[in-house]
Structures are given as structure tokens and as C-alpha cells.
Amino acid sequence: MSVGPQSLAAMRRKVLVNFGLFLLFFIFYLVAAVVQTPSFKEVAVLPALGMPLGMLLSLLIFPVSWLIMGVWFWRSK
């Protein structure tokens, strides 16, 4: 069973999209975690949408992950 160049290109594109989505979430998660450390307290207390930025980033972790999962399911068709 041989694999054609078109299927390899499609698989490569899917791998890049999947790792890209994971990297996007990982960076967002790390930024949210780092902002809430004592070293970045001044950044965490900045007002954003009527609440501290650190709290907003914490609350956005799950919606961002759901959005990324939605994009993943949409792209997997």
C-alpha cells in the first residue's frame, strides 16, 4: 500500500493545524498562569472589562479551550 504525495501533504497540513492549535492554547494558558504570580501582581490587577486582568484570563481559559476544540472539530471534517 503506497501513500501518494497528496495524502502526505494533507496529513502534514493536519499535523501543523493540530500542533498550532495546541501551541495557541498552551501559550494562552502559560500567560494566564504567569500573570497571576506574585512577580506580575501589577499586571494582574490592571482593569480589563470591569475586573482585574488576572481574573479575566482565568475565566477565559475554558471558553478559549472550547473555541479551540470547536475549530479542531470543524477543521477535522
Q: Which of 16, 35, 29, 34 is nearest to 64 (CA)?
A: 29
Residue 57, classified by CB atoms within 10 Å of its CB into exposed (0-12), middle (13-18) or buried (19+), is: buried
Question: Is residue 76 scored above 80 in pLDDT?
Answer: no
Q: In which band, very low, low, confident or very high, does the pLDDT at 56 lie, cut at 50, 70 and 90?
A: very high
In this prediction, residue 37 carries a pLDDT of 93
Q: If you average pLDDT over residues 6-22, what whole number do you get?
A: 86
Q: Under DSSP, is residue 51 helix (H, G, I), strand (E, B) or coil?
A: strand
In this prediction, residue 3 carries a pLDDT of 65
Percentage of the chain modeled with pLDDT above 70: 92
Question: Is residue 57 scored above 60 in pLDDT?
Answer: yes
Residues of the domain holding 56: 5-75
> How many distinct structural domains can be found in the chain?
1
Distance CA 3, CA 25 (A): 32
